[in-house]
C-alpha cells in the first residue's frame, strides 16, 4: 500500500475518536467501576438505559461480550437458542453460546436475516424426554450479513408477543440498532420496548473507540455485572472510555443519515458494474455478490488494498463495504471507481 489516504470501508468499527471524544476522555472524572464508583461509567449507563427504555444498563468492552452475557442471562444449560442462520452470534463469536451458556443454536435460513414469528413458532419446544427445550430467541437488528437489514417493528413485536406467551425471552443484538432507528424513523426505545435484553455498540456507527452496552431489567443487569466480571470485563477506571461513549451516544446518531446515503450511493454504483449483484439494504452496510464477474473476493480485496481501498471479502462470492463517519462521499466514489477497474480489468 502506498502513502496516499487509505479509504477504509471494511467496517464501521474502524473510526478514530473525534476531538470532542478525546477531550471528554482527557477531562473524565473516574473511580473504580468494579466498586461501582466510576461517575462517568455510571452516567453512561444511566443515559444508555434511558435511551433504550430499560431499567438498567451496563458498560462492556465489546458487543461479543454483550451477546454472551445476554444469552447467558436468558437461558439454562442444555437449552436451544433460536436465531437466523447468519447472525453474528453464530458466525463470529467463537460459539460462545455453547462455551459459556451450554446451549445449542437452532438456526433458521432466511434470505435477508429477518426472522418472523411464523418461522419461529414451530421451533419452540417444551421440556420432553427427547428435545432440547427452547431457552431464548435472538434477533439481530440491523442484520449485518443480511446487508444491514432493519427488522420491521411489527415483526419484532409479533416475535416478542408470541415468545413471551410461551415464556421464552428475546435478546436483541442491536450492535447497530441506532442505524435501525435512523432508517425506520423510530426511537431505539420503541424498537427495544418488548425485548428482554438488548446490546448495542458505541464503537460502530456511533464512533466511540471501544465499548458496548447491555440493557434490561434491574435484576437482569445485577446478574450481568457478575457475568461481566466472570468474563474478565471488570474495567476499573473505565470512565476514560465511557466518556467517549457518552459523546458517541449524544452526537453519533446525527451522523448516521449521511452514512446511509453514502451506502446507498455505493449500492447504486455497484449495481451498474456488470455481474455484480447487490443485496437490498437500507442502512450503512452493502453486501454484494461478485461470483458472476468470475473474480474471487479475496483477490479483489487484495488488489484494492494495493490501490489504497479496503473492503472485506466475506466468502467465495460475497464482499462487504461499510460506510461510517471517517469516509466521505468523494472517497466512496473513488473506492467504487477502483473496484470497477479491478473487476473490469
Number of chain residues interacting with ligand TLP (CB under 6 A): 14
When asked if residue 259 is in the footprint of ligand TLP (CB under 6 A), the reply is no
CB 305 within 8 A of CB 338: no
In this complex, which beta carbon is closest to ligand TLP, that of residue 8 or of residue 173? Answer: 173
- In this chain, which of 8, 33, 80, 140 binds ligand TLP, going by CB under 6 A? 140
- Shortest separation between residue 104's beta carbon and ligand TLP, angstroms: 19
Among 6, 13, 116, 261, which residue interacts with ligand TLP (rule: CB under 6 A)?
A: 13
Min CB(345)–ligand TLP separation in Å: 28
Answer for which of 134, 144, 262, 331 binds ligand TLP (CB under 6 A) is 144
* Least Cβ distance, residue 225 to ligand TLP (angstroms): 19
Of the candidate residues 15, 101, 184, 212, the single one contacting ligand TLP (CB under 6 A): 212
Contacting ligand TLP (CB under 6 A), which of 54, 72, 88, 269? 88
- For residue 277, give every residue at least 6 positions away whose Cβ sits within 8 Å of its Cβ, in sequence order, or none: 271, 288, 289, 292
Q: Which is nearer to ligand TLP, 92 or 117 (CB)?
A: 92
Residue nearest to ligand TLP (CB): 63
Q: Which of 40, 48, 63, 148 binds ligand TLP (CB under 6 A)?
A: 63
Candidates 51-59, 61-69, 109-117, 330-338; binding stretch for ligand TLP (CB under 6 A): 61-69
3-state SS, one letter per residue, for the chain: CCCCCCEECCCHHHCCCCHHHHHHHHHCCCCCHHHCCCHHHHHHHHHHHHHHCCCEEEEECCHHHHHHHHHHHHCCCCCEEEEECCCHHHHCCCCHHHHHHCCEEEEECCCCCCCCHHHHHCCCCCCCCCCCCEEEEEEECCECCCCCECCCHHHHHHHHHHHHHCCCCEEEECCCHHHHHHHHCCCHHHHCCCCCEEEEECCCCCCCCCCEEEEECHHHHHHHHHHHHHCCCCCCCCHHHHHHHHHHHHHHHHHHHHHHHHHHHHHHHHHCCCCCEECCCCCCEEEEECHHHCCCHHHHHHHHHHCCEECEECCCCEEEEECCCCCCHHHHHHHHHHHHHHHHC
**For ligand TLP, which is the closer residue by CB, 198 or 246?**
198
Of 62-70, 150-158, 182-190, 233-241, the segment contacting ligand TLP by CB under 6 A is: 62-70
User: Minimal CA–CA distance to 143: which of 117, 174, 171?
Assistant: 174
175: contact with ligand TLP by CB under 6 A: yes
**C-beta of 63 vs 207, nearer to ligand TLP:** 63
If binding is defined by CB under 6 A, does position 197 make contact with ligand TLP?
no
Closest by CA position to 117, among listed 163, 165, 71, 177: 163
Stretch that binds ligand TLP, among 63-71, 108-116, 239-247, 266-274 (CB under 6 A): 63-71
11 near ligand TLP (CB under 6 A): yes
- When asked if residue 64 is in the footprint of ligand TLP (CB under 6 A), the reply is yes
Please give the residue ranges that form the binding site for ligand TLP (CB under 6 A).
11, 13, 62-64, 67, 88, 92, 140, 144, 173, 175, 201, 212
Amino acid at each position: 500500500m502506498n502513502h496516499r489516504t487509505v479509504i477504509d470501508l471494511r467496517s464501521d468499527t474502524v473510526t478514530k475518536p473525534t476531538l470532542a471524544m478525546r477531550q471528554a476522555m482527557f477531562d473524565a472524572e473516574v473511580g473504580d467501576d468494579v466498586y461501582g464508583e466510576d461517575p462517568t461509567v455510571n452516567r453512561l449507563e444511566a443515559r444508555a438505559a434511558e435511551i433504550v427504555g430499560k431499567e438498567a444498563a451496563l458498560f462492556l468492552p465489546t458487543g461479543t461480550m454483550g451477546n454472551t452475557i445476554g444469552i447467558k442471562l436468558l437461558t439454562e444449560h442444555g437449552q436451544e437458542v433460536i436465531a437466523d442462520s447468519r447472525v453474528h452470534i453464530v458466525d463470529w463469536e467463537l460459539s460462545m453460546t455453547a462455551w459459556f451458556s451450554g446451549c445449542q443454536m437452532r438456526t433458521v435460513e432466511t434470505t435477508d436475516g429477518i426472522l418472523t414469528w411464523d418461522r419461529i413458532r414451530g421451533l419452540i419446544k417444551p421440556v420432553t424426554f427427547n428435545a432440547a427445550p427452547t431457552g431464548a430467541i435472538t434477533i439481530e437488528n440491523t442484520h449485518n450479513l443480511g446487508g444491514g437489514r432493519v427488522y420491521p417493528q411489527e415483526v419484532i413485536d409479533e416475535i416478542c408477543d408470541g415468545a413471551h406467551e410461551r415464556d421464552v425471552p428475546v435478546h436483541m443484538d442491536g450492535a447497530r440498532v441506532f442505524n435501525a432507528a435512523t432508517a425506520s424513523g423510530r426511537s431505539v426505545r420503541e424498537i427495544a420496548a418488548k425485548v428482554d435484553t438488548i446490546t448495542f455498540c458505541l464503537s460502530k456507527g456511533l464512533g466511540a473507540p471501544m465499548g458496548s452496552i447491555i440493557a434490561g431489567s434491574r435484576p437482569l443487569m445485577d446478574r450481568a455485572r457478575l457475568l461481566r466480571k466472570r468474563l474478565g470485563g471488570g474495567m476499573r477506571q473505565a470512565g476514560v472510555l465511557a466518556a467517549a461513549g457518552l459523546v458517541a451516544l449524544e452526537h453519533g446518531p446525527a451522523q448516521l443519515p449521511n452514512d446511509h446515503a453514502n451506502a446507498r450511493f455505493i449500492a447504486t454504483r455497484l449495481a451498474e458494474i456488470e455481474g455484480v449483484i447487490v443485496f437490498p439494504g437500507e442502512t450503512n452496510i452493502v453486501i454484494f455478490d461478485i461470483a458472476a464477474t468470475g473474480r474471487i473476493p479475496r483477490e479483489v480485496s487484495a488488489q484494492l488494498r494495493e490501490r489504497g481501498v479496503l473492503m472485506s471479502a466475506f466468502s467465495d462470492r460475497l464482499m462487504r463495504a461499510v460506510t461510517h463517519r471517517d469516509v466521505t462521499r468523494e472517497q466512496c466514489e473513488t473506492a467504487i471507481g477502483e473496484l470497477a477497474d479491478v473487476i473490469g480489468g
